[in-house]
A = this chain, B = another copy of it.
Amino acid sequence: MRVEPWREIAKFGRKMVEQGLVGSHFGNISVREGEHIHITRTGSMLDEITEEEVVVVPLQGESPVDSLASTELRVHRRVYAITEHRAVVHGHTPYAVILSFKYDSVKPVDAEGGYFLGEIPVVEGESGSEELAANVASALKDHRAVIVRGHGTFAAGRDLKEAFVALSATEHSCRVLYGLLCLRT
């Protein structure tokens, strides 16, 4: 049975906030369905997404409602254009942001991260910029997650569950690595 995309988005948005990955306003979520993208609005609170808080835009080209969508719409669109992913989550996850100032890629030391994520690239780019869209989408061709320096994590998968796992695993790996770095200094 098809679950409406906004319900899936609402479910995982709530999980992101409740599990301490992000604050209400610090992320966005999309799902691809055929030639359309269902994406959270700009300014949405991820822990209380309703049907009205999700905008449907075409996969390619622009649309009249683009301006209602998350300011990171360009990134989401590009990911779907050049990868096989069907869902993308983004959040300002604190440990990933901290480590992004120190590394050009994060190499998880925990078992789950090493096995499931492999190396996590760190890229650059201004919010909403062409450069950011290109860098994130390119990194997600070969990775489940990518960290934008000083900004947050984008994670992707075949569905929202898989994208959420990648986001959550990335933050866990960064937290463990950060914990070790504090010990070692």
- Which A residues are within 8 Å of any B CB, using their own CB? 15, 17-20, 23-26, 43, 45, 47, 92, 94-95, 97-98, 101-102, 109-112, 114-115, 126-127, 148, 150-152, 161, 164-165, 168-169, 171-172, 175-176, 178-183, 185
Contact = CB atoms under 8 A, between A and B. Distances in A.
Contacts of A111: 126-127, 148, 150-152
Contacts of A43: 161
Nearest to A45: B161
Contact of A176 (B18, B94, B127): B94
Contacts of A151: 110-112
How many copies make up the complex? 4
A106 B94 CA distance: 17
